[in-house]
Structure 1
Amino acid sequence: MSSAGEFKRDASYISDRITRDGRRPEHGPVDGELWPVAPGRYRLVAAKACPWATRAIIVRQLLGLEDVISLGTPGPVHDERSWTFELDPGGVDPVLGIERIQQAYFKRFPDYPRGITVPAIVDVPSGGVVTNDFPWITHDFFFEWRDHHRADAPDLWPADLREEMEEVMQRVYTEVNNGVYRCGFASSQEAYDAAYDRLWTALDWLEDRLATRRYLMGDALTEADVRLWTTLARFDAVYHGHFKCNRQKLTEMPHLWSYARELYAVPAFGDNTDFEQIKTHYYVVHQTVNPTQIVPKGPDPTVWLEPHGRG
């Protein structure tokens, strides 16, 4: 939090990457260790309540990596230490044998100094965390795990659109994905007002963009859509009220709303969107925002099943 009351996200993550044969990756920095792609070796730990983690779950399914990278799903709440596996029998992850993801972090870094976050990829043989750098996790699922994609996997990073897509994703991240948090966690009126204006400027830009195209980058689904989706899915249920992003609901923005419903109809998106877990996480964990921890009953999730009318 800045001195002016503006929310500042800690963007320091474990920079290790999993690459084909453990060699230099096709794109991006090499600031940490390189690990080799190996089917069955790694476990993705990702809570469906968390928007950053849900990205990785969706991309894993879109690419057909379910039998290659296993999935552990913590429950919707966490304490000051970390996310826990309360949804699993006995509260223990059945593959890693741990009660909280913190144990995998400490297995490799006993004095790990930063936040214990999801998504995280864990090396199953050692039980230690490999990386929690969420943008690179999904990027590398596409580029580095290509040999294990299913035959009809979508091209989430089309070469001819990549430069523009990077710009779109950066704006989506700073102004929308993180923008709702700047609104919700602002601790001064001035910081909130500025965050609110920035968020709605970006949402109006997206509404206009989707008036003339099916997906963010054109006619085909890309990583950019995955990154925007997790915020849209949480907007009316959480961000509109809980984070005071209340100029309009998603359901009141016709192009964004029909686009979001079309994505929800895709199994990788809809199957991994759990509105009860989402609401429980935000309304219970954020006690400074919602000190009563009361979880609202609405909105009605069946509206997501209405025809999107987009062909």
Structure 2
Amino acid sequence: MKALRLLLLLTFGVALYAVNCFAGDYGSEHHAEYDLLTPAPRQFDIEASDTWQFLDDNSAARRRVDSSLDSTIRLGPDLGTTQLQAPEVLISYWFDSVNAAQFQFRDFSMYGDHFSTTPFFYGGGFIPKNQILNNDGTRWYTFGGFYERRLTPLYENREWQMPQFLKGWDLRAKIGVEFTYNDFRINDGLPAKLRHSPFLTRVRMQERGLPYPVIGLEARRWLIPHVAIEATAQGYWFNKWDSGRDEGGTVYDSQSGFETHLRVIYSNSRLRGFSPFVGVNYNYSKYTQTSSGVFNMVRVQMIGPELGFNFSFNPWR
């Protein structure tokens, strides 16, 4: 955790320093074949990253079937899942220097276990105390497709009228659709001492889940020669959409989420489009499915450091 705090302080300090820098001060340094701020037509960008997330103690799961009792099971204190690893791949294709299509894939992998001294009700069954519980077997992925547009060309000719701290940023907006595949499991669906349950301790959230619209923003700016800062944010929200499934009545799907990244990127023409970065990120998501016969919920809140790289290339050059 000390390393995480140092990384947060370092990244925050770099962000504060950015307000005193002009992109024009360093622009001549970056007119190489691949410009981090200005993509070329028919350019591909591949972003790969790996994040280490630390879960908040309020991250939790519930499952109720019909009128059975259910417990709020906290992922960290009750299942030992205090950390989560989330590798990600984001591929962008630029039709020109303004418009791009993107595809995103993420894998959320849960780690840890806990010797539980608390009994729980889950999915119509009873999980006795005094056994080791975990999230083994959980499969959690997201798939997304987006349209991204650079907003900088809309205002760059009037940028001189802006306050100093707003100058030099390359701003991008995105909109698209994402789908979450979440097969949530406790002890791979079958704790050793599960009682009075006709069901496994798992819930296939994706079977009643729907694709959902996502919006986002991304901003980049040079700090010093070869070093840039990047800040991103994206989110989604919808409430009680008809999933098309029936389980004791119509199942309504509700999902909400928000994530943000703050990164420092190194870019040098000698690396031929390869730009490594380091940063921190925050992620919140809540997934709820309800009907008169079922209540499913998974909620996570997490923050952690990340490492990765951008690789830009143009196969037609």
**Taking structure 1 as the reference length, what is the TM-score of the superposition?**
0.26
Higher gyration radius (CA): 2
Kindly indicate which of the two structures has a greater share of residues assigned to strand: 2
Kindly indicate which of the two structures has a greater share of residues assigned to helix: 1
**Taking structure 2 as the reference length, what is the TM-score of the superposition?**
0.26
